[in-house]
Structure 1
Amino acid sequence: MGTLGYYSTIARLAPVGLARGMVRRVHGKARQALYKQRERLDERGVLAAFGVTSAEALAERALAVRPGGAWCEVGQRDSARTALEAVEGGVERALERAEAALRGEYHVFGVPVSFGEGQPVDWSLDVGSGYRYPVVPVERLKLAQPGVDPKFPWELGRLDCLVALGQGFWVARDEARRRAFARAFVLRALDFLQANPVGEGVQWTCPMDVALRGANLAQALRLFADAPEARRPEFLVPVLQSIAEHAAWVETHLEDGGAVPNNHLVSNFVGLLVMGLLFPELPDAERQTALAVAGLRTQVAAQVHADGSSFEGSIPYHRLSVELFTLALVVARTRGVDLGSVYEQRLLGMFKAARCWTSEHGLAPQVGDNDSGRVFPFREREGREQGYLAPLGAALFGDVGLGGGDFPDEAAWLLGRPGLERFRASRPAPAPVSTSFPEGGFHVLRGAGAVVTVSAGAQGQGGVGGHSHNDKLSFELHLDGRPVIVDPGTGTYTREPAVRNALRSTASHNTLQVDGTEQAPLEPHRLFALPESARARVQVFQTGGELERLHARHDGYRVLSAPVAVERTFLLDKRERALGIVETLVGVGLHEVTGRLHLPDREARLSKPTAGQLARASRVPEAPRSFEAIAVELGPEDSPVAMVLFQEGVCPRLETSRYSPGYGLLVESRVVVFGATLSPPACLRWVVVFG
């Protein structure tokens, strides 16, 4: 149950939420008890739900083509194909995904695995470690074990592969290939259902993944609605039964028991909404849909700030939330379900926010956790990619300051020809400018090819910090679309707790560490909690003209016997193409101060700055009066991208580090380390010259 100190902290942060969470947990136990007592939907119940008396008549009723239906209904096929043909390589990517699914080939967080065409998939296998979870009732399953990660089998078990096969079925021109995709869909779906009985094994341990799997199963069935293989009673009956069981499991296992519900609960509601609207005849679908609509309306207001940022405290999780809320809106619109004006306004703000911090190559900074989480199973995208979101928003909402860029695959599938027309009609939006998201705690300086994203705000999830890091006043620097100084990422969650905690520690971020202390205490066994203590905030945010300025402060080191506060000023000088940093210690005592600049690769070296670089650096406001003779050159040796120059007396060094550009991935990299012994009030200054 954790430590008393942890719960005391949570109680101070969100006492009302903690009390409500306890009540919800009691209700959840009652719901689960009722689930065990409920009568399972049998074949007779399926037939009765759709108003037919024979299994042979079921397909005509359950898979009937509906005019103007959801994106995955057969009536939308021509519209989707037309839109996809307007996307360079869109049709080819869809066929490649379908062919890989046909061959039983997957990439799970960077790990390639092949089960073979027509062969069963080992749905209980953690392909990262080779461990196989036993298929036993979930209450008897030991989920968290050293060296094992349930996210790997969960990723397989979301059944994105079924949607991929449906994509191939829609775009393939060769009838033999279409039939092959349809047969593979039937075999793969039945293989999963037979290998994973309801409530048994790792695939039923996370309601979020159960919900998204149910949504994918429902959407894939609609994609194959006119395939003879999918209309056979021996397939259709168990699949409809399974969709009903997925919805019932999610409804009775809602992830609302925490003090502050998060994206998991949103996923629960999205899954219920999609399953209920695509197959409204199923028992309980009407009630589950109403529950989902009410829940989504509540959670979008609770989990999306008015400034458009996610309350998760993580920019990568912002992407996950955008996809969740978008899928719900797209499906709801086609069924005439109104999610409300607040819902649409907050989602629109999320698209605009993503555009503000995404660099020219479509990459977003890794502030907070990055588990590479996605909802859309239409195209492979790396964990840092968010450049497709703004064009998707333009296609969804029309001309609202999101126009420009390339029409993405996701918009073609979800919105079809009307989405393409809205996108083409939208005016190109002006280039993104410096923007502050005070509620989310993210602040962006842009100009001269640089994007500087600073973390300075409260911990995410209402102060619980589930996906936050000890990264206050840390930043990422992208130059001409390329990440140059980076957050090292997440690496893993429960597989290696020590790695998890190391990568969310102060030393793993581009900020000052004082006397080797953490900004906020890390509890080794609380991998998804980082309660508020640093109180980071921005005090000055000035933009426009040739100089962009951000001044922020945090009090994480007030716990020291000689307490100090840390202040950091960022000065983006567009004329000089340089970023100046002023580190200030405010307080008392004598302190060892260490700064770090984490790099995405090993492309760095100690070097002597040129006279021109020294001259440019010295002209940046508040720059050091004199510089150290040795600087750090970043980028390939034959084409460096930046030089970091430090004030005289601060000698930088390079050390080996590690970088995680996506979940489950770790590559060797370098980190620049510098520091000094300071007695406050004192300052430490350095400058990055680029271009």
Structure 2
Amino acid sequence: MSNKTSLKWYFNRLAAMSLGEIVLRLKRTITEPFVTKAIINEKLPYSSEEILASANTLIGCYPVDPCKIEISDSYLKEIITNADNVCEGKIILFNNNIILDNPVNWFRDYAHNINCPKKNANRINYRKPELVGDVMFIWWLNRHQHLMPAAIAYFITGNQKYADVVINQLQSWLDDCPFPLGPAWLTGIEAGVRMITWSWIFRFLFAKGKPNNCSNDFLNKWFVSIRQHVRFIDTHWAKYSSANNHIIAEAVGVLAAVDTWPRLFPEKNYKEICRGILKNETHEQISIDGVDKEQSTSYHAFVLELLINASVYDNSLKKYLKKTIENMTRFLNALSGEKGFVPDIGDSDFAVASGLIPRSNSYYYYVAAAACSMERNSDIKHVPLISQPNEWYCRNKPVNKKHDKSVYFENGGYAVWKNVLPSGVKVNLCMLLSNLGYGQIAAHGHADALSFTLQINDEPVLIDPGTYAYHNQKKWRNYFKGTRAHNTLVINGLDQADIKGPFLWANKYYVHVDYVVMNKDQFIIKAEHDGYYRDEMVLTHRRELSWHPLLKKWILKDELIGNGNYDAELLFHVHPDRKVVREHSNTFRIIGTDYNLIIKFSAHFQCRVAHGEVNPPLGWFSPVLGEKIPSPTIVAKGNVIGFDNIFTEFVIEKTES
């Protein structure tokens, strides 16, 4: 980021702050040296032996002897394989196979072979990847969630080598990254997630007694660092425009620490503070029908797993959060097909709350399963056989609920239509009817108003292309969060809102829903957004999508309300595993398993298929942050005038396998 660009970003960021936030940030800047000195000088209130003696080593919601917990053979095999890889220094970060140094270099972006300078956190400009690497890789490494399989393997087998690798790496981190040194101390969310991870690692290591290689010197350093983490979070809560999933993670992290090591924090009632924060933030950030207002399915699942952890740590919160968890699970299950695919709407950074449930294609399913078990958990007297990762939190049968019905999340801004067509083809269509993101800066929202995704026979067909980049690669960050990367209409090549930074929007649009009718035989949605009602344009985009059972087709009508002449571009992004064939000048066939989807555009539009284009970007799919692969995007482009209607037809044909 050049100095000019940096100054422009700071100006735009300042413009998005309220007076209260500006005052808070100034106050923190002035007091930061004194706060930092106090945190550096943290001391233990009791001896490490006393703190250890009172520590909580219960596993999840199971108030039983840990020795009675059993694990299935298949899951044990998976855990041992992953734990052995950790012992050999082999881990996976964002789908990258990483070989760690011994000892681990906690300042290294192993994926791009760049070392971050060993500076205090407040002197690190993580927005300069050429100097520090991709900070996401460093942050995720410093969350220590890669150590979870080894901690679980030690708990199950008692094999000392697994405890050794965990304790040795933690000792290395404590030596190399004391507060406030390094990117691990840049933000409160990193400290919060690390606290959750450490809480579970500690419980697995100490549930059956103190590991042989655990010295008092190690415990002293670890416990001091835990106090420093909590003190750091308590003096740096994410507030105002930054108060999104970050403050929830921070509060759950503090809750994890005080529940696991209660004698570490005698001077302040942190549990009550965290209860207040979590009650307030879930009320503010989660719609009453259970949708995370950041408009990101990935962060929705992440926050849901955070709230599951909060329920494990605090029984009174468990009762309070019960309905929120139930509603959030309902939304996640509504989006999901039977094979567990959930479209990554909005930003996705592959975050997980604890490391118990690894980030994989099954993450959404396992989080929903854990939440469903929490709903039914009352007073568990025994532990069933643990056979999948979500069951460390809790297990009651049945572990998951299927939601095969259509659901309109009116407050959250999503309409999900699930149906079986007369031909026997299964359809899962999700239309986005939400405003842009959450809060003043809408950090993790994408400009995707009135876009929709489509699964057929549980295969993703029309998709949200993902995220790919966060803090670097401005061109690609802007593309993946911009309107052209979504299944909607683009006017004059503009996004529906103005991008002012990687996590900063201005002139945000609002969506108005005229009506939604969804049942087995009917599907019709009509809504509009004002994203092009700005600058010199006075234009509203109205979209109506309807299913016509007699014609056996969907008809999409895009209407432009306003005067003037405009360049319109209609885009449909197709999953890379599907094949796109052009049949006529304006007709395309998408070939899937046992079905074809035929899309027919208006005759006056010029149509083509984009695939892996670079300047400007188009035709890409990002399965995980930092990875992109070419995928087909069907593009229809033409000139339209105000009050013009654009019609597009969709027909699904059943085929033989």
1:643 corresponds to 2:598: yes
Aligned length: 625
What do residues 601-640 of structure 1 show as CA deviations (whole Å, max 9, x unaligned)? 17433343xxxxxxxxxxxxxxxxxxx665212236x866
Asked if 1 retains the 8 angstrom alpha-carbon contact of 2:241 and 2:440, the reply is no
Asked if 1 retains the 8 angstrom alpha-carbon contact of 2:255 and 2:310, the reply is yes
Name the % identity: 19
**In 2, Cα distance between equivalents of 1:194 and 1:452:** 51
User: CA distance change for structure 1 residues 285 and 133 in 2, over 3 Å: closer, same or farther?
Assistant: farther
What do residues 372-421 of structure 1 show as CA deviations (whole Å, max 9, x unaligned)? 12113124333784223332222101199xxxxx9973431112xxx23x
Asked if 2 retains the 8 angstrom alpha-carbon contact of 1:534 and 1:555, the reply is yes
What do residues 434-456 of structure 1 show as CA deviations (whole Å, max 9, x unaligned)? 22223332222221221111222
What do residues 283-334 of structure 1 show as CA deviations (whole Å, max 9, x unaligned)? 457433332222112111111111111121212211111111111111112x
**In 2, Cα distance between equivalents of 1:96 and 1:365:** 29
- 1:22 corresponding residue in structure 2: 22
- 1:239 corresponding residue in structure 2: 222
1:556 corresponds to 2:557: no
| Higher alpha-carbon deviation: 283-292 or 499-508 | 283-292
Deviation at 1:243, TM superposition (A): 1.4
**In 1, Cα distance between equivalents of 2:251 and 2:165:** 29
- 2:366 corresponding residue in structure 1: 388
**In 1, Cα distance between equivalents of 2:156 and 2:534:** 61
- 2:197 corresponding residue in structure 1: 216
**Structure 1 residue matching 2:314: 3-state secondary structure:** helix
Deviation at 1:40, TM superposition (A): 5.1
- 1:77 corresponding residue in structure 2: 66
Asked if 2 retains the 8 angstrom alpha-carbon contact of 1:186 and 1:229, the reply is no
Asked if 1 retains the 8 angstrom alpha-carbon contact of 2:36 and 2:180, the reply is no
- 2:418 corresponding residue in structure 1: 446
Deviation at 1:557, TM superposition (A): 1.7
Could you tell me which runs of 5 or more consecutive residues in structure 2 were left unpaired when the two chains were aligned: 1-6, 379-384, 421-425, 612-618
- 2:264 corresponding residue in structure 1: 282
- 1:359 corresponding residue in structure 2: 337
The 5 Å alignment of 1:57-456 reads: 58=49, 62-63=52-53, 69-71=58-60, 77-78=66-67, 81-82=69-70, 84-85=71-72, 89-115=74-100, 119-147=102-130, 148-172=133-157, 175=158, 178-225=159-206, 226-229=209-212, 231-256=214-239, 258-259=240-241, 261-284=243-266, 286-333=268-315, 338-339=316-317, 342-382=320-360, 385-398=363-376, 409-415=388-394, 419-420=395-396, 423-424=397-398, 429=401, 431-448=403-420, 449-456=426-433
Asked if 1 retains the 8 angstrom alpha-carbon contact of 2:601 and 2:648, the reply is yes
User: CA distance change for structure 1 residues 221 and 431 in 2, over 3 Å: closer, same or farther?
Assistant: closer
**In 2, Cα distance between equivalents of 1:684 and 1:511:** 12
TM-score relative to the length of structure 1: 0.84
Deviation at 1:356, TM superposition (A): 1.3
**Structure 1 residue matching 2:365: 3-state secondary structure:** coil
User: CA distance change for structure 1 residues 66 and 211 in 2, over 3 Å: closer, same or farther?
Assistant: closer
- 1:624 corresponding residue in structure 2: none
- One-letter amino acid matched to 1:481: D
- One-letter amino acid matched to 1:266: I
- One-letter amino acid matched to 1:77: P
What do residues 510-567 of structure 1 show as CA deviations (whole Å, max 9, x unaligned)? 11111222211222xx111123532222211001131211111112222364532111
| Higher alpha-carbon deviation: 643-652 or 321-330 | 643-652
- One-letter amino acid matched to 1:435: V
Asked if 1 retains the 8 angstrom alpha-carbon contact of 2:558 and 2:647, the reply is yes
**Structure 2 residue matching 1:530: 3-state secondary structure:** strand
- 2:616 corresponding residue in structure 1: none
**In 2, Cα distance between equivalents of 1:90 and 1:285:** 42
**In 1, Cα distance between equivalents of 2:233 and 2:192:** 6
- One-letter amino acid matched to 2:188: P
Could you tell me which runs of 5 or more consecutive residues in structure 1 were left unpaired when the two chains were aligned: 12-17, 401-405, 609-627
Deviation at 1:190, TM superposition (A): 0.4
**In 1, Cα distance between equivalents of 2:415 and 2:169:** 45
Asked if 1 retains the 8 angstrom alpha-carbon contact of 2:196 and 2:354, the reply is no
- 1:632 corresponding residue in structure 2: 588
**In 1, Cα distance between equivalents of 2:287 and 2:524:** 24
**Structure 2 residue matching 1:493: 3-state secondary structure:** coil
The structure in which a higher percent of residues are strand is 2
**Structure 1 residue matching 2:468: 3-state secondary structure:** coil
User: CA distance change for structure 1 residues 577 and 121 in 2, over 3 Å: closer, same or farther?
Assistant: farther
Asked if 2 retains the 8 angstrom alpha-carbon contact of 1:378 and 1:410, the reply is yes
**Structure 1 residue matching 2:598: 3-state secondary structure:** strand
TM-score relative to the length of structure 2: 0.88
User: CA distance change for structure 1 residues 558 and 363 in 2, over 3 Å: closer, same or farther?
Assistant: same
- One-letter amino acid matched to 1:49: Y
- 1:613 corresponding residue in structure 2: none
User: CA distance change for structure 1 residues 539 and 184 in 2, over 3 Å: closer, same or farther?
Assistant: same
- One-letter amino acid matched to 2:145: D
**In 2, Cα distance between equivalents of 1:74 and 1:169:** 20
**In 2, Cα distance between equivalents of 1:431 and 1:72:** 26
Asked if 1 retains the 8 angstrom alpha-carbon contact of 2:292 and 2:412, the reply is yes
**In 2, Cα distance between equivalents of 1:434 and 1:630:** 31
The 5 Å alignment of 1:467-616 reads: 467-523=444-500, 526-559=501-534, 561=536, 563-573=538-548, 578-601=553-576, 603-608=578-583
**Structure 2 residue matching 1:49: 3-state secondary structure:** coil
What do residues 236-263 of structure 1 show as CA deviations (whole Å, max 9, x unaligned)? 222222212222222222222x435111
**In 2, Cα distance between equivalents of 1:101 and 1:475:** 40
Asked if 1 retains the 8 angstrom alpha-carbon contact of 2:562 and 2:643, the reply is yes
What do residues 166-203 of structure 1 show as CA deviations (whole Å, max 9, x unaligned)? 1111223xx5xx11111112211101111212101112
1:466 corresponds to 2:443: yes
Deviation at 1:21, TM superposition (A): 2.4
User: CA distance change for structure 1 residues 484 and 505 in 2, over 3 Å: closer, same or farther?
Assistant: same
Asked if 2 retains the 8 angstrom alpha-carbon contact of 1:607 and 1:631, the reply is yes
| Higher alpha-carbon deviation: 465-474 or 579-588 | 579-588
| Higher alpha-carbon deviation: 653-662 or 278-287 | 278-287
